Amino acid sequence: MDSSSDPRESDLVRWLREQGHGEAEVERIMEKVKEYDEKTVRESVFDSLESGSFDIAKIIDEALGQDEPEG
Protein backbone atom coordinates (compact mmCIF):
# COMPACT_ATOMS: atom_id res chain seq x y z
CA MET A 1 0.00 0.00 0.00
CA ASP A 2 1.36 3.38 -1.01
CA SER A 3 0.38 5.82 1.72
CA SER A 4 0.37 9.58 1.38
CA SER A 5 2.87 11.91 2.97
CA ASP A 6 0.52 12.44 5.93
CA PRO A 7 2.17 10.66 8.87
CA ARG A 8 -1.25 9.94 10.39
CA GLU A 9 -2.11 7.82 7.37
CA SER A 10 1.15 5.92 7.66
CA ASP A 11 0.47 5.39 11.37
CA LEU A 12 -3.00 4.04 10.64
CA VAL A 13 -1.69 1.70 7.94
CA ARG A 14 0.98 0.43 10.33
CA TRP A 15 -1.60 -0.07 13.10
CA LEU A 16 -3.94 -1.95 10.76
CA ARG A 17 -1.11 -4.27 9.76
CA GLU A 18 -0.24 -4.81 13.43
CA GLN A 19 -3.87 -5.82 13.98
CA GLY A 20 -3.38 -8.60 11.43
CA HIS A 21 -5.01 -7.06 8.37
CA GLY A 22 -3.54 -8.10 5.03
CA GLU A 23 -2.66 -5.72 2.22
CA ALA A 24 -6.01 -6.13 0.43
CA GLU A 25 -7.90 -5.41 3.65
CA VAL A 26 -5.72 -2.40 4.43
CA GLU A 27 -6.37 -1.03 0.93
CA ARG A 28 -10.14 -1.41 1.35
CA ILE A 29 -10.11 0.10 4.85
CA MET A 30 -8.01 3.07 3.74
CA GLU A 31 -10.31 3.70 0.78
CA LYS A 32 -13.27 3.81 3.18
CA VAL A 33 -11.34 6.15 5.51
CA LYS A 34 -10.71 8.43 2.52
CA GLU A 35 -14.44 8.41 1.65
CA TYR A 36 -15.38 9.31 5.23
CA ASP A 37 -12.73 12.03 5.33
CA GLU A 38 -13.99 13.64 2.11
CA LYS A 39 -17.60 13.43 3.28
CA THR A 40 -16.73 14.91 6.67
CA VAL A 41 -14.85 17.84 5.12
CA ARG A 42 -17.70 18.50 2.69
CA GLU A 43 -20.32 18.38 5.45
CA SER A 44 -18.17 20.62 7.64
CA VAL A 45 -17.90 23.23 4.89
CA PHE A 46 -21.65 23.25 4.30
CA ASP A 47 -22.37 23.38 8.04
CA SER A 48 -20.02 26.35 8.31
CA LEU A 49 -21.70 28.06 5.37
CA GLU A 50 -25.11 27.61 6.98
CA SER A 51 -23.88 29.00 10.30
CA GLY A 52 -22.26 31.99 8.62
CA SER A 53 -18.80 31.15 9.93
CA PHE A 54 -17.33 30.33 6.52
CA ASP A 55 -16.19 33.05 4.11
CA ILE A 56 -17.61 31.90 0.77
CA ALA A 57 -16.38 35.11 -0.89
CA LYS A 58 -12.77 34.05 -0.29
CA ILE A 59 -13.45 30.66 -1.88
CA ILE A 60 -15.13 32.32 -4.87
CA ASP A 61 -12.18 34.69 -5.31
CA GLU A 62 -9.70 31.81 -5.14
CA ALA A 63 -11.73 29.70 -7.56
CA LEU A 64 -11.98 32.53 -10.06
CA GLY A 65 -8.36 33.57 -9.67
CA GLN A 66 -9.10 36.92 -8.05
CA ASP A 67 -6.16 36.59 -5.67
CA GLU A 68 -3.66 36.12 -8.50
CA PRO A 69 -1.45 39.11 -9.26
CA GLU A 70 -2.43 41.16 -12.29
CA GLY A 71 0.05 41.20 -15.11
pLDDT > 50? residue 3: no
Secondary structure class of 3 (helix, strand, coil) = coil
Among residues of the chain, what percentage have pLDDT more than 70? Answer: 87
- pLDDT reported for residue 69: 54
| Closest to 15 measured CA to CA, from 37, 33, 36 | 33
- pLDDT reported for residue 17: 97
Secondary structure class of 44 (helix, strand, coil) = helix
Summarised one tens digit per residue, pLDDT across range 40-71 is 988 998 898 889 888 888 888 888 987 555 54
- pLDDT reported for residue 6: 84
